[in-house]
Structures are given as C-alpha cells and as structure tokens.
Structure 1
Amino acid sequence: MYAVLGKIEFEVASGITGMEQRGSADWAEHPLIQGKPLLEWIGEGLEELTFSMQLHPWLGDPEARLRTLREAKSKHEPLAFVLGSGEYVGAFVIADISNTPRRTSADGRLYSSAVQVSLREYTGPFTPKIAKPGLIDPAVQGTAAAKIATPGLISKLAPVLTATQQVVGYARQAGTMIQSAKNIYDAVKNFNPATLLAQAPQLAALTERALGPISGLTESAGFINEGQDLVQLGQGLYGDVSGARSSLSPLDLGNVVDRFENSSNYITQAYDKLDGASTRLSGLAAQVITRRA
C-alpha cells in the first residue's frame, strides 16, 4: 500500500502513476521610496498533494472507483493522510478531481480514464478516525487485480495503524509544529512590540494545532509495551505547549515583550524534550520501516 486517505487506499499496483507534493511560504512585499522592495515572511502556506492514476477495468470498476472519490469530495470532510510506512502526514481535504476519459462504450460507460486528485492541508480541529481492517472493495472483486492479491485503488476499510506507527506519526507532526514555532520566536525575539503583536495570532494558532498530535502521542504511547516514558514525554509536551499558548493571551503593547519571552521559554522546553527523546523515537521509526512494529 502506498498511502491511505481516510478509507481510500492508494496502491502503485492499482494504477498510481505519481504523486506531487507542494509547499509554499507567504511573504509580504514592502515597497521602498528608493531601491528594491523588502520581503517579510508572514507564515507557511498550506501543503498540497496531487495524485495521478490510471483507472482500468483490470484494476477494478473505473466508474465505481471514481464515484467513491467524488463522494469523499462532496462530504467536505478532512481525512487523515497516512503513508504506507505508517507516517501520519496530516489532515487533508479533496480540493479537486479531474478526469480524462481514455475509452468509453457507445452508451458512455467508462472503460479507462486518467484521473488526478488534488489534496489541500486542513488546519482546523481534527481527530483522525481509525478504521478497522476490512475487505477489498467490491469494485475490484472478481478482477485480475483481486486474483493476484493486490487490493484495488479503493478499499472500504483501511488497515489499522499499530500503536507504534501512531506514536511515530504524531511525534513527527508535533515536532514539525514545535520547530516552526521555535523558528518564529527566534526570528522575532528582538523585534519591536508592534511586530510581536502582529505575529501573535499565527503563534497562537500553531500552538493550538500542536496540542492535537501531542494528545494522540500520549494516548497511543499507552498501548506500547514499556511506553511509560513516551506517555510522560507527551504529558510534558502538552504542559509546555499549553503554557506557550496561554502566555499569548491577553496581549497589548505593554505586556507583549514579557509574554512573548515566557511563551518562547515554554516552546524551547518542549523542543528540548523532543530533542532528548530523538534516539527513542528514531528506534520506533526504524521498527516501523522494517515492519517490526
């Protein structure tokens, strides 16, 4: 399995021909009276993923598989995106589906098609839904793909991630957000109060988002043998990031410098805790990669 989006499986053997990942950063341009304008970094843009695939009857009913993708898009719900390695990439929504029919019947039934699915990162509140193991989608039953034991492009139920896979995925996601927050604090720590106030909403949102994967890390670690140290890690991270978030409210020009420094100290503590656990987490990641956990 290459990846899972919610309950939709993507298999190289089932028509996936490529995946493109795009990331961006938002910059504000400030014109000067003389000389070239200055750029100021505002924040990170949303991640975007694009899948290219070929639908063919040999791999399952093209119309049924395309219909499943369209139904998922029409629900307007964020879906967990997980790589086959067990890495939890994050929550994404289906933003666009393009379909180019290659062959149809005389009455318009689809025989083969080239499809692109575009995903956009979802940054709102989100709790991943973990599905139970299921059967191959009826759309591929009886096809050549099913006979050689390759599940099709779409499965009704995605496989359950192990507790170790969940811990690794949540830790990576939380680490990315904590690192991003630390970078912002380090970049603006010597700026004037007005600039600090302008950065506060982004930092508040970033720390709020980090609490979700930290909670997931703590909960998942409870199911790992001898995982008490990881449970304590998650609890410590939650306390630090919560402290960083609460330090950012309320803010005004008179208190913003002190509150920013306090919030920055909390984030540094969280960063140091994760850095101290890097060897432990790397060991878990190695188990996931080698399929031992």
Structure 2
Amino acid sequence: MPEGHTIHRLAARHRALFAGDKVLVDSPQGRFAEGAALLSGTVLDNTEAYGKHLLHHYASGVSLHIHLGLYGKFADGDGEPPVPAGQIRLRISSDRHWLELRGPNACELLTPPEVEALRHRLGADPLRADADPDPAYARIGRSPTPLAALLLDQTIVAGTGLIFVTEALFRAGIHPLAAGRGLAATGWAALWDDLGELMRAAVLTGRIDTVRAEHLPEAMGRPPRVDRHGGEVYVYRRAGQPCHVCGTPIHQGELVGRNLYWCPICQPG
C-alpha cells in the first residue's frame, strides 16, 4: 500500500494538472458512474492529501475521496485520453490533460461534514503544516501497545507505513516492540521530527531513502540496494543481512500480521 509521501505527491500532481479547470468525469467501468455524473462539467478547485487519503475538492462543494489501498493506481497524460482499456473506475479529463484510476479501495463523493469527519478520525500527518503531534503522544505515552503498532495506527499517525515506521525506529535506536508508554516526551519529539524529515525527502524524490550519508553505498564501499521498493534503508526487508552500523544480522519478526525488522544491537529490547 502506498505510504503518505506518495499520496502527497499525487495531490500535487493532480493540482498541477487540473486545479481551476472545468473537467469531464466518467467511469468507463461503471462502478462510479453516478458520482462521475455529478462531478462532470464542474471546476476542480483544489486537491489535498491527509495521510493515505487523497481528496479532490470541487467548486460545487463536494469532494472526491480516494484511498488506493493495495491495488489502486493512477495514470495520466497530455491531450485526449486514450481509448478505455481494463477496469477504469474513474477518468478525469480537461482540454489539456487526462487522468485514470484503477483498483482503488475507495472512490466516493463526500460532503463537507463527511470530509471533516474523515480528518477527525485520522491522526496527525507529519507532512501537513497543520499537524499537531501532541494528541498522538497523549495516546502513545500511556499505551502498553508496541510502538511499531501505535505508529502504524492511522488514527494516531496518518500516512506512515511499515517502511517509515521500521526505519524511523532504527534511527532512534528504539526496539519496535517497546511499549509506547516507555517513550519519553523528548523521545517522541525527536521521533516525530525524524519521521517528518524522512517523509518530506520522499515527497521530493519519489522514493524512500533513510540511511545517513556515512552509510550510503559510496561511503561504505558496498553495492547499492536492489529491491522493487527502491531506496537505501537500514532494516526494512533486510532480514539476515548485516546492519550498516554494527554489522549484526538484521532480525525479522511479526506484529499483527505485519513483518517487523530491527537490529538487536542498535535497537536493544
């Protein structure tokens, strides 16, 4: 599932393509036909990302809410849209650009109160200027739940996925199974700042790189990472490989059906 930086990149891309334009909207697949008919011919005012949720705000007052889930993906281009092929849930076009959406977990229209309800049930998004990390720590700091699970809970921190969580915990020297209530306020402040730094860098580059300069391949004389997710990381999907810092093999475990990765030396339990 795409992590928050991808959704923020998509929001910026769609804003650049369509903001201020009257758009045509349809649903070649048919599953969003009614919603598309309500949007078609209206102006797309703005777009925004909140965690893993994408919102298109229209001049008519309604918003298009999209959650990609595991299989959703966008394609876009210039000029006339191509002949529909495959299961296209949503297609948006203007005189200059087109956009297609396939396989989302959610593609629906929301009223302004429903948009506010969505925001209210999500935690703080490290990529948003209006994010307030204090309510997140109010829950984390009193919880016996493992920190990794708390940071993956979108009602506490929005937009973080397994890569950002496991990597930020490594960089902080915190074991992913450590209880949230063991994290001091100063530790939370540092962890929050680091998450924001990593995620903002990923928005700019389109990939997740988490290793510090001294641990990059060129600095260490090691081959670059080869993985379909891309990016240089410390622990994510590196089980059994040597830690870039201490050389100890990276451990792998499981938490609520998710794989976890950590260094037993750099992140003592």
More helix by share: 1
Instruction: Please report the TM-score for the alignment, with normalisation by the length of structure 2.
Output: 0.27
The two structures have a TM-score, normalised by structure 1, of: 0.26
Task: Give the structure with higher Rg (CA).
Answer: 1
